[in-house]
Amino acid sequence: MMKVLVTGANGYIGAQICRYLSQQGYRVSGLCYPRIPDDECWRRGFDDLFVCDVRDADALKRIAERPFDAIVHLVSLDHHQSSGDPALVASINVTPTWTLLDMFAPRGLKKFLYFSTIHVYGVTLHGAVTETHLPRCVTPYALTHYMSETVCRYFGDRSDVTCLVARLSNSYGPPVFPDNNCWWLVVNDLCRSMAVDGTITLKSDGSPLRDFIHGYDVCRAVQILLEKGENNQVYHVSSGITYSIAELAEKIRVTAPQSKVTAAQTPPALASAAAPAGYTIDNSKLRALGFMPEYTLERGIAELMEYLAN
Ligand SMILES: NC(=O)c1ccc[n+]([C@@H]2O[C@H](COP(=O)([O-])OP(=O)(O)OC[C@H]3O[C@@H](n4cnc5c(N)ncnc54)[C@H](O)[C@@H]3O)[C@@H](O)[C@H]2O)c1
């Protein structure tokens, strides 16, 4: 079975992907930082777990002495952290992508799956957005992800490694570890507000549109990309369905009938049943490889509310 190294293994998405791939029979090794989580059950799924700062090229070199068939690279600072000192941000979000490919390409690595973001497209999206849409980065977070995409394309052209880019929309769902960096993600945030305060207060008028994909479906997409993804291709990892934040809030509100939703600004969309047809993050390229999301937003919300209640 394929030997996979996952970077950012203790992170929100990384921890779910490692658990899922291990359950599917993959031989998984994980790169954690700043420490390996204590959870014995989660740790049992690994061949190897390493503690490693991705800026430490010597430590990476020692890890590269072991052969891996594939790497799933998930290390990045989040939006807020990526607005810091450019040298620091690039040293975590960009340079390690280059270092990893440079080190592992001559050692028989077959696949490199890089996790990017739909934020590379910028803020105003219309219609069906496919992977051919021109990136227009408007934040350092998006910019550094796009820079890493470019590094992948370079190695896809000039090495034997099959380099793939997954542009992820907005994931949600219960984390493997409660302290994962995931409670600012909008579905998780609003569900937690509802569970803790019995109310949701929107920061906007509820009209912004988003595509939400459950973590389990992200894991299934990763497996499909590892098995079938093609060199130098970009794939949207999305549900393909767009909701307004007001619609999302309403779906959460109905799980607790006594609760209410308020908005910081006049909420034109709060009562409306359907979002305006603004845009969709087209995932037909991933679907053509056999992907179909399993989670509806309603199912994901119900699961998350149950997790929070417990
Ligand atoms: N969560 C989402 O909805 C979402 C959406 C789009 C894109 N993404 C991208 O997917 C990837 C994973 O996101 P996530 O939600 O799991 O984020 P996360 O913050 O939970 O994970 C990031 C990981 O990077 C690790 N890391 C940070 N600095 C490091 C360093 N110096 N050395 C080694 N490891 C370091 C962290 O320990 C963590 O494991 C990121 O690239 C993120 O930008 C996530």
Q: What is the pLDDT along the chain (310 residues), one digit of tens a residue?
A: 899 999 999 999 999 999 999 999 999 999 999 999 999 999 999 999 999 999 999 999 999 999 999 999 999 999 999 999 999 999 999 999 999 999 999 999 999 999 999 999 997 899 999 999 999 999 999 999 999 999 999 999 999 999 999 999 999 999 999 999 999 999 999 999 999 999 998 988 999 999 999 999 999 999 999 999 999 999 999 999 999 999 999 999 998 766 777 776 555 444 444 445 599 999 999 999 999 999 999 999 999 999 999 8
Q: Are residues 202 and 219 in the same domain?
A: no
For 143, the domain range is 3-170+213-237
- pLDDT at position 271, please? 42
Q: Are residues 10 and 115 in the same domain?
A: yes
Q: Are residues 67 and 190 in the same domain?
A: no
Q: What angle do CA 23, 24, 25 make, to 5 degrees?
A: 90
Q: Are residues 122 and 8 in the same domain?
A: yes
Does residue 175 lie in a domain region? no
Q: Are residues 132 and 52 in the same domain?
A: yes
- pLDDT at position 261, please? 77
Q: Are residues 160 and 27 in the same domain?
A: yes
- pLDDT at position 275, please? 46
Angle formed by the axes of helices 86-93 and 95-104, to 10°?
A: 30
Q: Are residues 201 and 269 in the same domain?
A: yes
Residue 92 Cα: closest atom of ligand 1? 31
Q: Are residues 220 and 251 in the same domain?
A: no
Is the CB of 172 within 6 Å of ligand 1?
A: no
Is the CB of 54 within 6 Å of ligand 1?
A: yes
Centre of ligand 1 to C-alpha 261, Å, is 30
- pLDDT at position 265, please? 59
List the CATH number of the domain containing 199: 3.90.25.10
Centre of ligand 1 to C-alpha 176, Å, is 14
Centre of ligand 1 to C-alpha 234, Å, is 19
Q: Are residues 116 and 248 in the same domain?
A: no
Does residue 223 lie in a domain region? yes
Q: Are residues 233 and 248 in the same domain?
A: no
Name the closest-CA residue to atom 11, ligand 1.
74
List the CATH number of the domain containing 50: 3.40.50.720
Strand duo 162-168 + 170-172: pairing: unpaired
Does residue 32 lie in a domain region? yes
Using alpha carbons, list the distances in angstroms from residue 172 to 17, 35, 177, 192.
Answer: 13, 24, 14, 12
- Out of 74, 238, 295, give the residue to mutate to test ligand 1, the one with the largest number of ligand atoms within 8 Å of its CB: 74
Does residue 264 lie in a domain region? yes
Q: What angle do CA 197, 198, 199 make, to 5 degrees?
A: 90
Q: Are residues 134 and 246 in the same domain?
A: no
Specify the number of domains making up the chain: 2
Q: Are residues 204 and 126 in the same domain?
A: no
Centre of ligand 1 to C-alpha 12, Å, is 7
Is the CB of 93 within 6 Å of ligand 1?
A: no
How far is Cα 89 from Cα 87, in angstroms, rounded to an integer? Answer: 6
Residue 171 Cα: closest atom of ligand 1? 3
Helix (H) or strand (E) segment spanning residue 196 = helix 186-197
Sign of the Cα torsion 230, 231, 237, 239 reads: negative
Is the CB of 173 within 6 Å of ligand 1?
A: no
